């Protein structure tokens, strides 16, 4: 099975290129390729890039908004609490149906790698994991899903959760998660972090925690995570998501923590769509943005990416599983407006995200996996500005989605 993409516009290349794909790999990239008897598609000078990546979402909770009560305060705390009752009645079928809708949208929008957190706690037990494992199996070869076992209700605070986390790893979770700020005291937060690293060592897996998702500067678990990463030698294997409190610290302490993050080579994931909505709810004016120090983290040389995080749930009522829409919001929230900054935003959902979640053979290079998209625009800026149709979505060298749009003006 071969495929030839003609007239592709590659990032940072003036000349158009052809891309020859053999089976699931990129065989050749050149200004003109002749390959008889292969399927040919014409990119017509449109931007052609590696497929998009969503490194942080909660697929077990998506599309739950219509079956629970609204979040009156708009806070993270209430968003978590509302779901407690629903979590007790989860079924595999329910989770599969709600999450499948989002995965199909992601696929259509060219997102072919997703890292999802799934709640592991004594309320829902392992149901969320079991539902998402079914989803992962169903979409194998179309959308690759990594699963993070996520103790959202705390570990010390939720006796029984630690055992469930070990069971989740045995059942097939790929990465161990955490939420150390959701404990009663700093000592308990430290114990939470230690438990997570014990599990990471036992299963030799990466760590991806929700860290200080609050605009309260008194939460300082990011420093605990960095210290433990260094102590365990887990450099470049730990991701910290949200880290909103980093933006609430004074500049001196924030700079100190960023140095530790550098030393530990921690990967950072900001989630502006959700955090613009959830944070700053107790501020009068000015209302803080509530997102982490994106530019300072980038300047420090850290890998930074961002995720959709939520779609139609109690945390965030919108979301279309389109990483270009999330990129648009992120560019606003992080004030990334210069030409190179806008290109960086595109990196953050392609190459940089791939490095964060540890993908191999990713990227538009000979020998790499042929996971590509052709967009209906020519530049990264237009991609983020317009969130255009993904004309072709190619997974493992095969066209898995094709979109055409046509507007008829009547005037």
Question: Do 287 and 280 meet the contact criterion of CB atoms below 8 Å apart?
Answer: yes
SS3 content of the chain, % helix, strand, coil (to 5): 35, 20, 40
* Minimum gap (Å) between residue 241 Cβ and Zn ion: 6
Distance, in Å, from the CA atom of 42 to the CA atom of 4, rounded to the nearest integer, reads: 8
Shortest reach from residue 358's CB to Zn ion, in Å? 18
When the beta carbons of 46 and 113 are compared against Zn ion, the nearer one is 113
**Smaller CB distance to Zn ion: residue 242 or 369?**
242
Task: Let me know if 39 is a catalytic residue.
Answer: no
* Cα R_g (the chain), whole angstroms: 21
Residue 58 or 220 with smaller CB distance to Zn ion: 58
Cβ neighbours of residue 325 closer than 8 Å, sequence gap 6 or more: 387
Three-state DSSP class for 48? strand
CB of 260 to Zn ion, least distance (A): 22
From 27, 153, 162, 213, active-site residue: 213
Phi-psi region of 233 (alpha: psi -120 to 50; beta: other; left: phi over 0): left
Residues at the site binding Zn ion, with contacts judged by CB under 5 A: 309
In the complex, the smallest distance separating the C-beta of residue 307 from Zn ion, rounded to whole angstroms, is 7
Q: Which is nearer to Zn ion, 121 or 309 (CB)?
A: 309
Q: What is the dihedral of CA 340, 343, 349, 350, to 10 degrees?
A: -110
Nearer to Zn ion, 26 or 83 (CB): 83
Could you tell me the smallest distance in angstroms from the CB atom of residue 182 to Zn ion? 12
Which of 324, 238, 222 has the alpha carbon at shortest distance from 273?
A: 324
Q: Are 185 and 47 in contact (CB under 8 A)?
A: no
Min. distance of Cβ 105 from Zn ion in angstroms? 18
- Residue 125, both tokens: 């037990």
**Pick 110 or 307: Cβ nearer Zn ion:** 307
Minimum gap (Å) between residue 109 Cβ and Zn ion: 19
Joined tokens for residue 293: 């120090």
Answer left, alpha or beta for residue 317, where phi above 0 means left and psi between -120 and 50 means alpha: alpha
For 219, phi and psi rounded to 5 degrees? -85, 125
- Exposure pattern of 330-362 as b/e (b: 16+ CB <10 Å)? bbebbebeeeeebbbbbbbbbbbbbbbbbbeeb
Cβ neighbors of 210 (< 8 A, separation 6 or more) are: 117, 150, 152, 177, 178, 179, 181, 241, 242
6 SS3 class: strand
Cβ-closest position to Zn ion:
309
Kindly list the catalytic residues. 213
């Amino acid at each position: 099975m071969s495929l030839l993409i003609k007239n592709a516009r590659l990032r940072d290349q003036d000349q158009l290129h052809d891309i020859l794909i053999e089976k699931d790999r990129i065989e050749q990239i050149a200004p003109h390729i002749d390959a008889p008897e292969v399927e040919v598609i014409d990119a017509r000078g449109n931007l052609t890039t590696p497929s998009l990546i969503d490194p942080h979402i909660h697929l077990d909770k998506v599309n739950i908004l219509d079956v629970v009560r609204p979040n009156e305060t708009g806070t993270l705390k209430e968003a978590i609490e509302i779901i407690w009752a629903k979590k007790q009645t989860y079924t595999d079928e329910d989770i599969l149906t709600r999450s499948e809708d989002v995965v199909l949208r992601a696929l259509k929008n060219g997102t072919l790698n997703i890292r999802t957190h799934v709640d592991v706690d004594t309320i829902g037990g392992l149901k969320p994991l079991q539902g998402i494992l079914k989803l992962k199996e169903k979409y194998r070869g179309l959308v690759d899903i990594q699963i993070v076992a996520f103790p959202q209700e705390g570990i010390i605070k939720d006796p029984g959760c630690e055992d469930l986390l070990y069971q989740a790893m045995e059942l097939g979770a790929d990465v161990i998660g955490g939420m150390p700020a959701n404990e009663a005291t700093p000592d308990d937060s430290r114990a939470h972090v230690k438990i997570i690293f014990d599990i990471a060592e036992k299963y030799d897996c990466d760590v991806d925690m929700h860290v200080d998702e609050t605009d309260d500067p008194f939460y300082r678990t990011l420093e605990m995570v960095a210290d433990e990463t260094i102590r365990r030698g887990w450099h470049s294997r730990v991701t910290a998501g949200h880290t909103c409190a980093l933006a609430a610290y004074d500049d001196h302490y924030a700079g100190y923590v960023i140095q530790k993050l550098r030393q530990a080579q921690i990967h950072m994931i900001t989630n502006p769509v959700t955090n613009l909505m959830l944070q700053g709810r107790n501020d009068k004016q000015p209302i803080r943005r509530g997102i982490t120090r994106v530019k300072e983290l980038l300047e420090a040389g850290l890998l930074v990416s961002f995720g959709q995080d939520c779609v139609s749930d109690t945390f965030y009522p919108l979301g279309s599983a389109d990483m270009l829409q999330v990129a648009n919001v992120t560019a606003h929230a992080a004030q990334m407006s210069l030409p190179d900054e806008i290109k960086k935003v595109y990196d953050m959902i392609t190459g940089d995200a791939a490095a964060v979640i540890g993908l191999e053979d990713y990227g538009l290079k000979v020998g790499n996996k042929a996971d590509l998209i052709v967009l209906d625009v020519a530049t990264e800026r237009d991609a983020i500005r317009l969130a255009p149709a993904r004309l072709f979505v190619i997974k493992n060298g095969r066209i898995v989605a094709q979109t055409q749009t046509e507007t008829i003006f009547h005037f």
